[in-house]
């Protein structure tokens, strides 16, 4: 006996509703939560800096100090001028590094000068191959004592990451995009300014952030050749065998590094082209 065929299945409106993703999964996150998630790093770093500053203040306020501690940790006489010197060394050395490395990196990615890229990168690499202390001593022997000697030494030491990132950022731009720009009538200079540099900015700024953090750390040695900075407090703590002074100088240097890196990250996010 032949079995009758099964009746065709029909989907009701209720079944169609069940196939759709659940409202919880399809619902978008609130704008405030999406903003926090996309900027988590930028929000956490200031909290760490504030918490570290408060903890350092409370630690200093509750510690038993002797005369040498009071003198070394005097804010108006020592800590504030050293902090200003540290920030000044970091700022000016970074300005010189970017002013040298970015134009040089652009030049070395042009077809006419690509052959010179390897020897110049080798020279820039030698700046970081030399230990930081040795580079400061060489700069002192050549230029003498003072903050500008430290600035030029720091600029040479941090030249490599900015130069290399500039070259990498420009070289990774899709050639078809460049050709499309040229096909629209853009000159080589316009293509560089309107297409290549905007697309390479995230990579270039990552190199600048690296250079900034390296500069803050290396500037702690600037006091050795008359450059000032927070390294003087760290050195005083070592000489006096006073942990309070040593920890204060070290923590302040770390807080400066975190703050500078946060500012660089904020600038990087602001300058990053939309869609990247």
What pLDDT, in 10s, does the model give residues 238-247?
Answer: 888 888 999 9
Instruction: List C-alpha distances in Å: 27 to 19, 31, 37, 219.
Output: 16, 12, 16, 50
Number of H helices, E strands in the chain: 15, 0
Q: Which residues contact 69 (CB under 8 A, 6 or more apart)?
A: 63, 242, 244, 245
Give per-residue pLDDT as tens, 11-55.
444 444 444 444 444 346 555 455 555 566 678 888 999 999 999
Can you state the angle between helices 243-271 and 80-108, rounded to 10 degrees? Answer: 40
With 0-12 CB in 10 A as exposed, 13-18 as middle and 19+ as buried, what is 73?
Answer: buried
CA distance 249 to 246: 5
Stretch 92-100: mean pLDDT = 92
Domain range 42-271, CATH class: mainly alpha
Per-residue pLDDT for 116 more than 50? yes
Q: How many CB atoms lie within 10 A of CB 29?
A: 10
Instruction: List C-alpha distances in Å: 127 to 133, 134, 152.
Output: 12, 10, 11
- Going from N- to C-terminal start, the domains of the chain cover 42-271
SS3 label, residue 3: coil
CA distance 108 to 159: 14
- Residue 103 is predicted with a pLDDT of 92
pLDDT band at 125 (very low <50, low <70, confident <90, very high): confident
Tokens representing 242 are 């006073």
């Amino acid at each position: 006996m032949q079995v009758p065929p099964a009746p065709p299945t029909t989907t009701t409106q209720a079944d169609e509703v069940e196939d759709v993703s659940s409202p919880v999964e399809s619902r978008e996150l609130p704008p405030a939560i999406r903003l926090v998630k996309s900027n988590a790093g930028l929000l956490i770093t200031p909290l760490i800096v504030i918490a570290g500053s408060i903890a350092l203040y409370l630690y200093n306020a509750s510690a038993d100090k002797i005369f040498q501690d009071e003198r070394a940790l005097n804010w108006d006489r020592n800590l504030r001028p050293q902090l200003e010197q540290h920030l000044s060394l970091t700022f000016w050395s970074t300005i010189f590094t970017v002013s040298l490395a970015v134009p040089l990196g652009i030049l070395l990615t042009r077809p006419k000068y690509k052959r010179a890229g390897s020897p110049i990168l080798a020279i820039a690499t030698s700046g970081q191959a030399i230990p930081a202390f040795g580079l400061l001593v060489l700069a002192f022997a050549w230029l003498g004592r003072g903050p500008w000697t430290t600035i030029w030494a720091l600029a040479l030491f941090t030249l490599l990451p900015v130069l290399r990132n500039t070259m990498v950022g420009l070289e990774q731009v899709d050639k078809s995009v460049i050709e499309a720009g040229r096909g629209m009538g853009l000159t080589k200079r316009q293509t560089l300014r309107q297409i290549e540099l905007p697309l390479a900015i995230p990579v270039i700024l990552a190199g600048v952030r690296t250079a900034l953090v390296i500069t803050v750390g290396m500037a702690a040695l600037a006091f050795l050749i008359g450059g000032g900075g927070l390294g003087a407090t760290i050195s005083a703590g070592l000489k006096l065998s006073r942990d309070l002074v040593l920890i204060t100088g070290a923590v302040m240097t770390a807080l400066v590094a975190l703050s500078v890196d946060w500012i660089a990250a904020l600038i990087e996010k602001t300058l990053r082209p939309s869609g990247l």
